[in-house]
Amino acid sequence: MYPLVKGIVALQAHVALPEGTFEEEHGRDGFYGPVSHLYRTHAPTAWSRIEGPLKPRAFNCLTTQPSAPTAILDRVPLLYNEDVVVHFARPTGPMPFYFRNADGDEIYFIHKGSGTIETDFGPLLFEAGDYLVIPRGTTYRLLPETTDNAFLVIESFSRIRQPDRGLMGQHALYDPAIVKTPSPQPIQEDREWEVQIKRLNEITSVFYPFNPMDVIGWKGDLTVWQLNIRDFRPVMSHRAHLAPSVHTTFQGQGFVVCSFVPRPLEEDPEAVRVPFYHRNIDYDEVLFYHAGNFFSRDGIDAGMITFHPQGIHHGPHPKAVESSKQKTATDEVAVMLDTEKPLRMTEAAQSTEWKEYYLSWQAK
Ligand SMILES: [Fe+2]
């Protein structure tokens, strides 16, 4: 049956688009399933208005309030489904107690701030750009040395895994050897210590007359791990724009986390150099902007999240298509979360929303 070709098309996706057309990738299963490319005479994002709740959204996470050091745990949930919760935390200092999440694994992405994380397995130093992957059940405490901290936290109800590199080989994206793990460093401080354990979203406090970070050795393949986004080495093609799934950094049941880092744009003069339009029908897309110049998205700054729900189009802004012709590289750093199940927005997310974002594709 494949390939069916009808009408005026580009014979290879994202290359040499017919004059005056806008290419849409209409696909299933993220970028892995059956797919058609539609060559339109208008950008599918050039709507004049939208009535109803389904629209592209943008949230300014840095307008969530910084609060006490415990804000790491009083983190603000923004988006959630049955597999994953996206939180934002803006703690002002070290946690006075330890924490254990019995509900899920956690990925911290450090947008701002630096310090130490103490864990059962030993401490790690963290800085901006770090991913910290904390398996469910680990006892830990974050001790930022900075007061202006901003952490994106992805809570996963399944185990976080590294992606399958497949044909690219096991050292693609990031060499497993660049991943840091903690070494035991027991803390001897005999006073009362509290461990707050979250199970079914309820907190139980367990108290010890000694510091529970008393591990003097550990072995095995379950531990806390750390990767800085600057150590993510992207895969690209000089002749064709690749799907964002090539930047997969972590995965869990029902979602993937991808890292967008600076990379050269496609050199081939016929290759499209901006992301294609799509309506991402099987995945909700969440993008957190960490640093750099987000040239394909008008009005987006570092510390913001865009949320493109399944079923409605997104794609490059009108100016991005033009500016991509002059550029030779991207310099943006962003973290993407794609989820199979639709995400719901919390009230906290809506209170930080830039309500006009969905109109930002209108040509100015
Ligand atoms: Fe997308």
What are the pLDDT digits (tens) for 152-186?
999 999 999 999 999 999 999 999 999 999 999 99
Residue 67 is predicted with a pLDDT of 67
Residue 319 is predicted with a pLDDT of 81
Q: Domains along the chain?
A: 22-59+234-357 (2.60.120.10), 65-229 (2.60.120.10)
Q: Cα–Cα distance between 17 and 36 in angstroms, integer? A: 14
Side-by-side strand order, sheet with 193-199: 122-126, 115-119, 139-144, 98-101, 193-199, 202-208
Tell me the CA–centroid distance for residue 108 and ligand 1, in Å.
22
Q: Judge residue 51's burial from the number of C-beta atoms within 10 Å of its C-beta, 0-12 exposed, 13-18 middle, 19 or more buried.
A: exposed
Start-to-end CA span in the chain (Å): 42
Average pLDDT on 237-241 reads 94
Tell me the CA–centroid distance for residue 171 and ligand 1, in Å.
26
Q: What percent of the chain has pLDDT over 90?
A: 85
Tell me the CA–centroid distance for residue 354 and ligand 1, in Å.
19
Tell me the CA–centroid distance for residue 314 and ligand 1, in Å.
6
Residue 296 is predicted with a pLDDT of 59
Instruction: List the beta bridge partners of residue 134.
Output: 106
Q: Using the predicted structure, report yes or no on whether residue 294 has a pLDDT greater than 80.
A: no
Q: Using the predicted structure, report yes or no on whether residue 74 has a pLDDT greater than 80.
A: no
Q: Where are the alpha helices (DSSP H) in 205-259?
A: none
Q: Cα–Cα distance between 192 and 211 in angstroms, integer? A: 8
Residue with tokens 């750390």: 226
Tell me the CA–centroid distance for residue 337 and ligand 1, in Å.
10
The pTM assigned to this predicted structure is 0.95
Least confident interval from 126-135, 194-203, 312-321, 334-343: 312-321
State the chain's mean pLDDT as an integer: 93
Tell me the CA–centroid distance for residue 20 and ligand 1, in Å.
22
Tell me the CA–centroid distance for residue 31 and ligand 1, in Å.
10
Average pLDDT on 210-234 reads 98
Res. 321 pLDDT band, cuts 50 70 90 = confident
Residue 293 is predicted with a pLDDT of 83
Tell me the CA–centroid distance for residue 19 and ligand 1, in Å.
23
Tell me the CA–centroid distance for residue 39 and ligand 1, in Å.
17
Q: Using the predicted structure, report yes or no on whether residue 44 has a pLDDT greater than 90.
A: yes
